[in-house]
Amino acid sequence: MREYKHENVLQVIGIACQKEPLMIVLEFCGGGSLLQHLRKQGAHLGIPIRYRFSKEASAGLRYLEEMKCIHRDVAARNCLLTEIDLTVNLPAVQLYYIVKLFSELV
């Protein structure tokens, strides 16, 4: 599995697959999903914050494209926000693909 290093790409810290259950440790993003935040804040979100969210998501996607990574499920529900400054983070791969890959190996 490839390692990605970018401020807008969620980091996989580690994977334990020696015995069941498979465990995946991810970077903590306590701000929830972008979709939850947009639904909660609704019309109260100003243009500058909407622009910043778009810019950060685009930066993460651009990096993944440069690294030849196809995301396959870009959506607000899959963009996670950091707890303190609400920075947008995209997972490099969906957890489904990680679990599938390692379950085939174990």
Asked if 73 is an active-site residue, the reply is yes
Q: Single out the catalytic residue among 7, 27, 65, 73.
A: 73
The one-letter amino acid code at 78 reads N
Q: Is 26 helix (H, G, I), strand (E, B) or coil?
A: strand
**Residue owning tokens 């909660």:** 40
| Cα gap 62→66, rounded to integer Å | 6
| Cα gap 66→42, rounded to integer Å | 33
Which residues are catalytically annotated? 73
